[in-house]
Copies of this chain bind each other. A is one copy, B any other.
Amino acid sequence: MAASTASFAQLFRLQSPLRAGCRSLHMLAGEPQGPVVKTEIPGPRSKELLGELSSIQQSGSVQLFADYERSLGNYLVDADGNCMLDVYTQISSMPLGYNHPDLLRVLDNPYNVKTMVNRPALGVFPGQDWPKRLNKILTQVAPPGLTQLTTMMCGSCSNENAYKNMFMRYRRQQRGEDVGFTKEEMESCMINQAPGSPNLSILSFQGAFHGRTMGVLSTTHSKAIHKLDVPAFDWPIARFPVYKYPLEENERENAEEDKRCLAMVDDLFEQWKKKGCDVAGITVEPIQAEGGDNPGSPAFFQGLQRIAHKHGAALLIDEVQTGGGPTGKFWCHEHFDLPTAPDVVTFSKKMLMGGYFHKPDLTPNLPYRVFNTWMGDPGKLLLLQEVLKVVRRDELLSVVRAAGDVLYKGLRSLEKEFPNLLSATRGRGTFLAVDAPSGKVRDDLVARLRAKGVQSGGCGEQSIRLRPALIFQEQHAHIFLDIFRQVLKETN
């Protein structure tokens, strides 16, 4: 088998060569040829608007105010008329960039307008088109082996509810397939006590980000500011692999790191079992995003799946940020060559709505156990269906791989040119990051990029992350790399 003889680094980086003759995608009609900066960013108009907003809410995270009427494709136009190449795309949530003509046309259709206006309680009164729409999504993009789909609203509530499915599955295993709830369970859960509200846990990783509501926040460990002052569940936290770069020069050490982390996971299962708080599931990002764009190797994820199944726990892969194509495959975990599908795959962001695919043994045995008023949003599914049509028609996964290849090689070359400023280029597809020597330098580089009309983002302590749209092409990669090189030269 080719896979078994491939090196760690080969397996780790994207292997599939670009398909010869891949249809070249033209830029969106009217898309700018490059950034145009007219004022400092944020400019005077953005600053004025920030004053207004600050009187209503905490607005310290606002970077600028955008003009969404004039933004187009990969270019974000701000309130001061600055036109920026956007390689961050609303924290990775705009699959087709701004004002994609196919998406704008969705609402030309009066039927679709009615779908936007009549939002049902999907768990009780779904529209007659709903089963067909879900089936279409399932057959188009469900990870193989995951036949069940629960729709939600955002990443946090997708993970929260998927954790509930994992707890229910684990308790069903414990009590036996067809055993009902006891009176004691029914009564104790109403006052938040075991056995009805059981002592069970979800294992997560240092540096992980799974959202900010209180269940998933207990599995988020990326930055203190997300967690301070909020009560948390005492659940096990394992080390996530910290690799040495470049990967191809550090294969042995990185494989050792995988083993150390996996041993810790296995050990935590035993420790928490001894405490009377069994681990019902593992939650893990394929590439830790918010925590610093830390990737895990295929061997690491294969090991996690083995350990989860050994202990009767479920493996949840959180593809909220990686899902929908940016790694060059529709789901990042498809790079991992797992023996069987993960038990749950959660999504949001580029999928425009939240939700999760899962195996049938994660499906609640009774109605109303995983439920809420809206259970998703058909208006978002309409847009998602159009996105998926464009992804297929325009072969956007190939576009991502081609642009990602240019970006990756370009960043590696900049690393060599500016070894005191850049290191550890990593990622898959266009889902890429590179490290600065410190948080201060990183923030400075991001600010200088913006001053030259490139909107990027930070993550972790000192990383710059790239999260362009799926319509980001090789020519956009060259524009980004040219400007980044200017910034690095001026910083050096």
List residues of chain A with CB under 8 Å of any chain B CB.
45, 49, 52-53, 55-69, 71, 76, 79, 90-91, 93-94, 98-100, 103-104, 106-107, 111, 113-121, 123-128, 130-132, 134-135, 138, 147-150, 153-157, 160-161, 163-164, 167-168, 170-171, 181, 185-187, 189-193, 196-201, 206, 211-216, 218, 221, 223-235, 237, 348-349, 352, 363-374, 379, 383
In the bound complex, CA of A153 to CA of B231 (Å): 22
The distance from the CB of A443 to the nearest CB of chain B, in whole angstroms, is 14
Best-surrounded residue of A154, A185, A216 (most CB of chain B within 10 A): A154
A352: chain B residues within 8 A (beta carbon) = 119
Q: Are B119 and A62 in contact (CB under 8 A)?
A: no
The distance from the CB of A76 to the nearest CB of chain B, in whole angstroms, is 7
Q: Are B192 and A128 in contact (CB under 8 A)?
A: no
Copies in the complex: 2
In the bound complex, CA of A22 to CA of B372 (Å): 37
A160: chain B residues within 8 A (beta carbon) = 212-214
A155: chain B residues within 8 A (beta carbon) = 372-373
Which one of B58, B196, B368, B383 contacts A363 once the chains associate, using CB atoms below 8 Å? B58
- Find the B residue at minimum CB distance from A365: B58
Which one of B192, B201, B368 contacts A225 once the chains associate, using CB atoms below 8 Å? B368
Interface class of chain A by DSSP: loop
In the bound complex, CA of A111 to CA of B121 (Å): 28
- Report if A213-B49 is in contact (Cβ < 8 Å); known contacts: A121-B90, A218-B192, A224-B189: no
Q: Are B58 and A231 in contact (CB under 8 A)?
A: no
Q: Are A104 and B121 in contact (CB under 8 A)?
A: no
3 cross-chain pairs, A with B, having the tightest CB-CB distances, nearest first: A214-B215, A60-B367, A192-B232
A138: chain B residues within 8 A (beta carbon) = 56
In the bound complex, CA of A187 to CA of B224 (Å): 7
The distance from the CB of A284 to the nearest CB of chain B, in whole angstroms, is 17
In the bound complex, CA of A428 to CA of B126 (Å): 29
Q: Are B45 and A128 in contact (CB under 8 A)?
A: yes
- Report if A127-B228 is in contact (Cβ < 8 Å); known contacts: A116-B107, A121-B91, A153-B153: no
A-B contact pairs, 21 of them (CB 8 A): A49-B126, A58-B369, A59-B367, A60-B367, A62-B123, A62-B125, A65-B127, A90-B120, A91-B121, A94-B119, A99-B118, A116-B379, A164-B229, A189-B228, A192-B233, A192-B234, A198-B231, A211-B372, A213-B216, A233-B233, A379-B379
Q: Are A373 and B61 in contact (CB under 8 A)?
A: no
A363: chain B residues within 8 A (beta carbon) = 57-58
Q: Are A154 and B156 in contact (CB under 8 A)?
A: no
- Report if A227-B53 is in contact (Cβ < 8 Å); known contacts: A107-B107, A118-B99: no
A213: chain B residues within 8 A (beta carbon) = 156-157, 160-161, 213-216
In the bound complex, CA of A114 to CA of B366 (Å): 40
Q: Are B214 and A125 in contact (CB under 8 A)?
A: no
- Report if A185-B228 is in contact (Cβ < 8 Å); known contacts: A53-B126, A104-B114, A161-B212: yes
In the bound complex, CA of A372 to CA of B134 (Å): 26
Q: Are B111 and A69 in contact (CB under 8 A)?
A: yes
Which one of B53, B68, B113 contacts A118 once the chains associate, using CB atoms below 8 Å? B68
A79: chain B residues within 8 A (beta carbon) = 128
- Report if A53-B366 is in contact (Cβ < 8 Å); known contacts: A154-B373, A227-B196: no
Q: Are B221 and A191 in contact (CB under 8 A)?
A: yes
Which one of B53, B128, B156 contacts A372 once the chains associate, using CB atoms below 8 Å? B156
Best-surrounded residue of A79, A104, A120, A213 (most CB of chain B within 10 A): A213
Which one of B107, B190, B216, B228 contacts A113 once the chains associate, using CB atoms below 8 Å? B107
- Report if A65-B130 is in contact (Cβ < 8 Å); known contacts: A149-B57, A224-B196: yes
Q: Are B100 and A191 in contact (CB under 8 A)?
A: no
A235: chain B residues within 8 A (beta carbon) = 192
